[in-house]
Amino acid sequence: MEIKGEYQIDAPRQAVWEALNDPEMLKKCIPGCESLEKVGDAKFAAKVTAAVGPVRAKFNTSLSLEDLNPPVSYRLVGESKAAAGFGRGSATVELEEQDGGTLLRYDADFKVGGKLAQVGSRLVMGATKKTADQFFSAFSKELDPGAARVDAAVESTAEPSFPWTYVLSGASFVVLLIWWFLLR
């Protein structure tokens, strides 16, 4: 499934890039993040507890960053596993200077499996949006405690053959993807 979104963050692009690459910052802002560590060159491992609808699980996530082009763009490739299922996929993230702040765009293509796919399909989009909103809200506040304004828009394009949804895990996976790839 594909999920796209963009967020306007009231901070300069360089600051956003750096924050996105600050493990402590990410850990603070990612809902349910218990640990986040660098395990190799542009490779990360994280543990995140995510709850979407009826599924709550601790995801072990591994991420690698590719096509790094600071402070403009990168590509995040990763896999998230839990007893409740798995998600895997990739996302491209772009930062653009706009209106004195930074517009962050992401375009993720991912797949979920196991119970996440089975039970959560209708909830994944909403949960993804909510998790992403939570992250960006926290992230914006951290960067600019005064402004704390977040404009969020998530749009999804599910494949026509599956007008259904995917799982919650998908949501947390996307969020993880975005944040992790920002880490260094």
For binding to another protein (CB under 8 A), which residues are involved? 57-58, 82-83, 85-86, 111-115, 117-119, 121-122, 161-164
8 or 121: CB nearest another protein? 121
User: In the complex, what is the shortest distance from the CB of residue 64 to another protein, in angstroms, rounded to a whole number?
Assistant: 18
20 or 55: CB nearest another protein? 55
d(CA 131, CA 51): 10
Q: In what side-by-side order are the strands of the sheet with 151-157?
A: 33-40, 43-52, 55-69, 73-82, 85-98, 101-113, 2-9, 151-157
DSSP-derived 3-state class of residue 135: helix
User: In the complex, what is the shortest distance from the CB of residue 14 to another protein, in angstroms, rounded to a whole number?
Assistant: 40
User: In the complex, what is the shortest distance from the CB of residue 85 to another protein, in angstroms, rounded to a whole number?
Assistant: 5
32 or 71: CB nearest another protein? 32
User: In the complex, what is the shortest distance from the CB of residue 120 to another protein, in angstroms, rounded to a whole number?
Assistant: 8
Going through 99-150 in order, the beta strands assigned E by DSSP cover 101-113
Residue 45's beta-bridge partner residues?
Answer: 37, 62
Going through the chain in order, the beta strands assigned E by DSSP cover 2-9, 33-40, 43-52, 55-69, 73-82, 85-98, 101-113, 151-157
12 or 126: CB nearest another protein? 126
Residue 51's beta-bridge partner residues?
Answer: 56
Residue 180's beta-bridge partner residues?
Answer: none
157 or 161: CB nearest another protein? 161
User: In the complex, what is the shortest distance from the CB of residue 13 to another protein, in angstroms, rounded to a whole number?
Assistant: 37
23 or 85: CB nearest another protein? 85
User: In the complex, what is the shortest distance from the CB of residue 35 to another protein, in angstroms, rounded to a whole number?
Assistant: 17
Q: Are 37 and 23 in contact (CB under 8 A)?
A: yes
